[in-house]
Amino acid sequence: MPRPKGAGGTKQLTQEQRQRVRTLFFDAKLTKAHIQSITGYTPHQIRYAIRSENTMPGSRTGRPRSMSPLQEEELIKYVCASKDHRRMSFLQLSTTVLDGAFSIWAIKNALYRYGFRRRVARVRYGITEEVRKLRLDWAREHVEWTPEQWAKVVWVDASSFAATPHPKQYVTRRDGEEWDPTCIVEKHELKVSGWLFSGCFSALGKGPGVLWKKDWGDAGTISSAIYAEHLLPMVESWIQATKQQLGEHIMLLREPQAGGGIDATKLELSKADLEERGVTVLELPPCSSDLDPVESCWDWMKDYIEDKYGLEDRLSYEKLASYVNESWEALPHDLVRELLGSMKARCEAVIAANGMHTKS
């Protein structure tokens, strides 16, 4: 491999070249031979660059080399350019963008000065123009609903609970950029794993909940047959009891998209069963977890399990079922009432966002 200008023979490396070697050695943990194959520097030049910065990164002295304003501007433009760039670590930014000429501390300090931090990415479905219009129309249609109207809705949804924790995706962003398209992880990027738990509640409180049983088959999308055979009977008596107390116009709401727990293309049988029971179906538009208050219940339950049992590396199905059921029972009634009272604000947020993502 041809050597870079100034790197051949016994010539000393420049300060930037020595910093590149130190970044690759101390931060990227590459061997000297690997560094030589990447850079073309001689073994002597590599050894000298490493010795000049002491043998251990913890014993370094002095301030890290600072970037020029132009280099900082180029770095920020690169970070903000795409999802892939947002997700790069400080080490990846150093070795990929700036050729290792600056340490991860120099990268971090430069970005921190402009308000950038590594933060957990928000997870949402991708919103197409067609879906945006559907969301906006739905929000406008329901924004003036009264609390009495929302009280008649029986909310039913499902979420996946895994036996092992899922790693979180981090992005580099500033405050207020959490809903920037480059900072969002779309749900279709995530692998669906774990066991589905279906639960429901209304203005009267929580209804029953059930975790997918092993003998139902693969823990995948709930088909209409599974829904009619196992889940609908579970909530039928509760729906009828709710109906007696709140009136005849009870509506079952669910989220019709992949990942929402129920396959919208296989719901005709379920809808017919519901109509026979006098239940009108009210469906959310696609990609509208921010309009579904049950989503906040799943977040609360998963936090509960993580806080109480998060130290367990891997759970058996029996333990997972026990913890999920325990978290459902522990879900506060006050939270349920608060969520039911948030629908007007949720609709207003979608309208303000012109149908795009909201913070709900």
3-state secondary structure of 49: helix
Are 234 and 145 within one domain?
A: yes
pLDDT band at 36 (very low <50, low <70, confident <90, very high): confident
Residue 62 predicted with pLDDT over 70:
no
Q: How many structural domains does the chain have?
A: 2
Segment 13-29 shows an average pLDDT of 81
pLDDT of residue 317 exceeding 60, the answer is yes
- Residue 173: inside a domain, yes or no? no
Residue 67's DSSP bridge partners are none
More confident residue, 80 or 55: 80
Please, what is the Cα angle at 310 between 119 and 165, to 5 degrees? 60
CA 346 to CA 348: how far, in whole Å? 5
Among the residue ranges 40-54, 220-234, 306-320, the one predicted with the least confidence is: 220-234
Instruction: Look up the CATH number of the domain holding residue 209.
Output: 3.30.420.10
Do the strands 153-161 and 251-254 form a parallel or antiparallel pair, or are they unpaired?
A: parallel
pTM beyond 0.75: the answer is no
- Give the residue, 271 or 166, on which the prediction is more confident: 271
Q: Are residues 240 and 214 in the same domain?
A: yes
- pLDDT score of 5 more than 50: no
Please enumerate in sequence order all residues whose Cβ is within 8 A of that of 261, keeping only pairs 6 or more positions apart, or say none. Answer: 157, 158, 159, 160, 196, 198, 221, 222, 254, 255
In the predicted model, what is the mean pLDDT of residues 143-169? 80
Cα→Cα distances 310→33, 63, 264, 316, Å: 41, 39, 33, 14
Nearest to 263 by CA among 209, 326, 357, 196: 196
Q: Give a yes or no: residue 184 inside a domain.
A: no
- How is residue 172 written in tokens? 């580099």
Give yes or no: residues 264 and 305 share one domain: yes
What is residue 261's predicted lDDT score, i.e. its pLDDT? 42
Percent of the chain with pLDDT over 70: 72
Q: Which of 122-126, 264-268, 320-324, 344-348 is least confident?
A: 264-268
C-alpha distances in Å from residue 235, one per residue of 29, 207, 229, 243: 56, 7, 11, 12
Residue 358 lies in a domain: no
224 assigned to some structural domain: yes
- Residue at 145 is within a domain: yes
Same domain? 285 vs 239: yes
| Residue 48 reports pLDDT greater than 80 | yes
Q: 138 and 87: one domain?
A: no
Q: Across residues 296-313, what is the average pLDDT?
A: 81
Mean pLDDT is highest, among 17-26, 81-90, 159-168, 259-268, for 81-90
Q: Residue 327 domain-assigned?
A: yes
Answer yes or no: do 196 and 322 share one domain. yes
List, edge to edge, every strand of the sheet that includes 195-202.
Answer: 205-211, 195-202, 153-161, 251-254, 280-283
Task: Mark whether 106 and 206 lie in a shared domain.
Answer: no
Q: Are residues 88 and 194 in the same domain?
A: no
**Top-ranked range on mean pLDDT: pick from 113-122, 197-206, 230-239:** 113-122
DSSP letters for 270-310: HHHHHHHTT-EEEEPPSS-GGG-THHHHHHHHHHHHHHHHT
**pLDDT mean over 174-189:** 80
Of 41-50, 139-148, 188-197, which range is least confident?
Answer: 188-197
Least confident of 186-200, 215-229, 322-336: 215-229
Tokens of 104: 């991860």
- How confident is the model over 331-352, as pLDDT tens digits? 998 888 888 889 999 999 999 9
Select from 154, 161, 166, 267 the least CA-distant residue to 211.
Answer: 161
CA distances from residue 11 to 3, 18, 41, 42, 145 in whole angstroms, order as listed: 12, 12, 10, 10, 77
pLDDT of 215 > 80? The answer is no
**185 in a domain, yes or no?**
no
**Listed residues 114, 144, 176: the one ending a domain:** 114
Tokens of 284: 């959310």
Tens of pLDDT, residues 123-155: 776 788 998 999 999 999 999 999 888 888 888
At a CB cut-off of 8 Å and minimum separation 6, what does 23 contact? 91, 94, 95, 100, 101, 102, 103, 104
Q: Which domain holds residue 286?
A: 130-167+190-352
Section 36-65 average pLDDT: 68
The β-bridge partners of 161 are 195
Q: What is the pLDDT of residue 116?
A: 95
In a domain? residue 3: no
Max distance between CA atoms of the chain, in angstroms, equals: 90
**Domain identity same for 210 and 327:** yes
3-class DSSP assignment, residue 188: helix
- 140 and 56 within one domain: no
Instruction: Please tell me whether residues 151 and 266 are part of one structural domain.
Output: yes
pLDDT at 9 over 60: no
Least trusted range by pLDDT, from 57-71, 171-185, 246-260: 246-260
Mean pLDDT, the chain, whole residue set: 78
23 to 26, 61, 65, 318: CA distances (angstroms): 5, 15, 12, 47
Residues 109, 140, single domain; the answer is no
